[in-house]
Amino acid sequence: MAHRLLEGIRIVDLTMVFAGPVSTKIMAELGAEVIKIESVQRADVFTRANVYPENQPGDDAWNRGSHFHALNAGKKGISLNLADERGRDIFKRLVGISDAVVENYSPRVMDNLGLDYEQLKKVKPDIVMVSLSGLGHYGPLRDFYMYVPGMEGMGGLTYTTGQPDTPPLLTGHAYGDWVAGVNAAAALMTALFYRQTTGKGQYVDLSGREAVACHLGDLIME
C-alpha cells in the first residue's frame, strides 16, 4: 500500500456539525490518525438530524446519521465530558501525545474550559492548534456565533446568487461550510509543515466568513 502524506500524524478532533469535520476528514483521508472527541451531554447535531424510513428511528438512532458518518468516516472516537476535571485530564494526556488539535466551538468555550492554546502549549510546547469559528477569535464580533447562512451572507457569497430581481439566496448544501473546511485543512497542513521545519508549534485562528470571502476575489476587485 502506498505511503500516505500524513501517516504518523495524530490529530485530536473537537469539531462538530459540518465545516470542522470536513477539515479533519480530509486529514484522515491523507493518512493522519484522527481521534474525534464526542460529548454524551451535547452530541453532534448530525447524530440526530436525520430522516428515517416510516419516521421510525429504531433502537440505535444516534448511530444512523448519514451526514455524521460521511463526515467522520475513517476517524477514531472517544467520549469525554470536558466539563469534568477527569475528562479534561484525559484530554490533556491525549494532547500530550498528539501533533495537532482542531476545534470549531465559539471562542469562549475553550477559554472557559481552560483548554485554550496557551494552556495546551504547557502540555505540549510544539502543539499545532486550529480554531475555526464563524467570525474569528479576535475583534468586536468574536462572541457572535453562526452557521453557514451567516457565513455566506457576511462573506459576500449570497451577493452572487439569485436573479437580478430577487433577493440573495443561500447556496445549495452548505457550500460555505465546505469552503471553510477545506481552508482549515490547508491551514493545518501549512502549520504542520512549519513545525516540521522549525520545531515550533502554531495557533491558527480561522474565520468561516473570511474563508468564504477569499473565494470572491474577482468580485471584490470589481
* Greater pLDDT, 61 or 31: 31
Does residue 1 have a pLDDT over 60? no
Strands (E), the chain: 10-14, 33-38, 76-79, 100-103, 128-133, 202-207
Residue 198, Cβ density class (10 Å: 0-12 exposed, 13-18 middle, ≥19 buried): exposed
Look up the pTM and report it.
Answer: 0.87
Tens digit of pLDDT for each residue in 93-117?
999 999 999 999 988 899 999 999 9
- Residues taking part in catalysis: 177
List, in order of start, the domains of the chain with CATH numbers. 10-221 (3.40.50.10540)
Tens digit of pLDDT for each residue in 138-180?
888 877 777 777 777 777 777 778 788 888 777 777 878 888 8
